């Protein structure tokens, strides 16, 4: 436990040092999407009986919690390949599970911070949604899943370039196709079948439904929790492997 907290504290210290830069970087993307898609393209458009801006904000929450949780992979890569601090963790008397937990917690914290930024931007744009327990549970599950995936992939890659490649192949397509900007059920059936396999589609669905005050889909929660657990265990195994 203390090892996990040490790892988490280190990530928090780094986040604190770069807080305003991080905050700015977390705000720029959502702001651009809001202006381009929400205020520009989506003006006057209604989706599922709501304004496009109202539809978009929960989608951005899902997307941003995914990208920010996954961004912990970059921090791990910098620590591993550039500063070589990973060696310091490996030489410490802490279990690999503590390392993974600390990094996943850090990824989840970053994700929650970015979600807070989007909610604030939404409020400033006049969008008032419901942010109750099940909304936050969905955000946490989504962040946990992608932070675990981030640790897993950060241990597998051999360089920064590999990491960028994985982001381009996994995260960017999911960000655009996972029900963030449009309802998945408007796609052709074959595309829907593919998109429904993506965890972000489920995350966007439950984040949106809870933000709109509807009953959450328990299956999506269970799916995110199960997949997150599998990825967490995989991350642990990958840390063991990365030792060599």
Partner 1 sequence: MLVLYGRTSLTSRLSRQQSETVTDFSLPNRDTGHPLSSRDSQSMIRLENLTKNYRAIQALKGVNLQVKEGELFAYLGPNGSGKTTTIKILTGLANPTSGDAYVHGHHVIKETLEAKKQCGLVPQTINLDHELSVQENLDIHGRLFHMPSRERAARIDELLDYVGIKERRNSPIKHLSGGMKRRVMVARALMHAPKILFLDEPTVGLDPTIRRRIWSLVKNIQQSGATIFLTTHYIEEAEFLAERVAFLDEGRIVAVDTPQNLMARLGVWALDEIVNGNMETVFFESREAANRHLVEQQGGFTLRRVNLEDVFLAVTGRKVAP
Site of interaction with partner 1 (CB under 8 A): 2-3, 5-7, 9-10, 13-14, 17-18, 79, 83-85, 87-95, 243-244
CB 109 within 8 A of CB 185: no
Query: Residue 110 Cβ, how far from partner 1 at the closest point, in Å?
Result: 15
SS3 label, residue 46 = strand
Complex with partner 1: residue 79 or 166, whichever CB lies closer: 79
Concatenating the DSSP letter of every residue in 60-77 gives: HHHHHHHHHHHTHHHHHH
Residue 7 or 118 with smaller CB distance to partner 1: 7
* Least Cβ distance, residue 8 to partner 1 (angstroms): 10
Distance in Å, CB of 5 to partner 1, minimum: 7
Rank residues 132 and 243 by Cβ distance to partner 1 and give the closer one.
Answer: 243
Cβ-based nearer residue to partner 1, 85 or 165: 85
Nearest CB to partner 1, comparing residues 53 and 79: 79
Nearest-approach distance from CB 13 to partner 1, in angstroms: 6
Residues 125, 54 contacting (CB under 8 angstroms): no
Residue with tokens 């904000």: 57
> How many angstroms separate the CA atoms of 207 and 3, rounded?
32
Which residues contact residue 5 at a Cβ distance below 8 angstroms, ignoring those fewer than 6 apart? 102
Which CB sits closer to partner 1, 9 or 132?
9
Q: How far is the CB of 68 from partner 1 (least distance, A)?
A: 18
* Cβ neighbours, 10 Å, residue 189: 7
Give Cα separations from 101 to 7, 17, 149, 197, 221 (angstroms).
8, 22, 12, 26, 20
Any idea how long the chain is?
A: 244
Q: Tell the smallest beta-carbon distance from residue 211 to partner 1 (Å).
A: 35
């Amino acid at each position: 436990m203390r090892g996990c907290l040490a790892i988490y504290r280190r990530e928090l210290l780094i986040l604190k040092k770069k807080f305003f830069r991080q905050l700015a970087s977390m705000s720029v993307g959502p702001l651009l999407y809001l202006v381009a898609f929400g205020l520009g393209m989506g003006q006057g458009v209604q989706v599922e009986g709501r304004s496009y801006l109202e539809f978009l904000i929960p989608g951005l929450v899902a997307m941003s919690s995914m990208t920010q949780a996954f961004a912990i992979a970059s921090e791990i890569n910098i620590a591993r390949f550039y500063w070589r601090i990973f060696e310091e963790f490996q030489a410490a008397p802490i279990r690999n599970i503590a390392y993974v937990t600390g990094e996943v917690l850090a990824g989840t914290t970053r994700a929650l911070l970015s979600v807070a930024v989007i909610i604030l931007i939404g409020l400033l744009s006049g969008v008032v949604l419901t942010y109750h327990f099940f909304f936050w549970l969905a955000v946490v599950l989504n962040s946990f899943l992608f932070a675990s995936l981030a640790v897993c992939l950060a241990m597998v890659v051999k360089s920064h370039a590999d990491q960028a490649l994985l982001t381009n192949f996994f995260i960017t397509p999911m960000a655009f196709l996972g029900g963030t900007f449009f309802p998945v059920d408007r796609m052709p059936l074959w595309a829907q079948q593919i998109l429904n396999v993506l965890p972000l589609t489920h995350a966007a669905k439950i984040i949106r439904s809870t933000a709109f005050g509807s009953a959450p889909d328990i299956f999506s929660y269970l799916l995110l929790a199960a997949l997150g657990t599998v990825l967490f265990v995989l991350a642990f195994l990958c840390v063991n492997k990365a030792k060599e």
